[in-house]
A = this chain, B = another copy of it.
Amino acid sequence: MNALKLDDLALNALGDPTRRSIFEKLEKGPLSVVHIADGLPVTRSAVSQHLKVLKEARLITMKQEGTRSIYSINQEGLIALRNYLDRFWDEALENFKQLAETTEKQKTIKK
């Protein structure tokens, strides 16, 4: 049913600087919405919308505590991102090797 892949959602979510700020605020531990919005240069409404995007990307979770909504970092989105990055690792290393060889070759050629 979910047409979009999790890594797409996660990268899209962390592509926005305000959402990164929110996500990074949760680095130290769970927070309520008012605490998240505190200090940020946008309204609480904007924060709510960002939280929705982060939640759909499985980068955060929410648990209700009375009238408070407590948000925490979720490993599911993090795992998706890590797996995504790992796809490119071998290729990047190979390119690095080739670059090193080329540089070395040129160094030898240069009179």
Interface set of A (CB-CB < 8 Å, partner B): 8, 11-12, 14-17, 20, 23, 26-30, 61, 63, 72-75, 78, 81-82, 85, 87-89, 91-93, 95-96, 98-99, 102
Contacts and interface: CB of A to CB of B under 8 A. Distances in A.
A11 to B, nearest CB: 5
Contact of A92 (B73, B93, B98): B73
A78 B85 contact: yes
**This protein's copies in its complex:** 2
B28 A91 contact: yes
Contacts of A95: 30, 61, 72-75
Contacts of A89: 75, 78
Most B CB contacts (10 A, CB to CB) among A14, A30, A102 go to A14
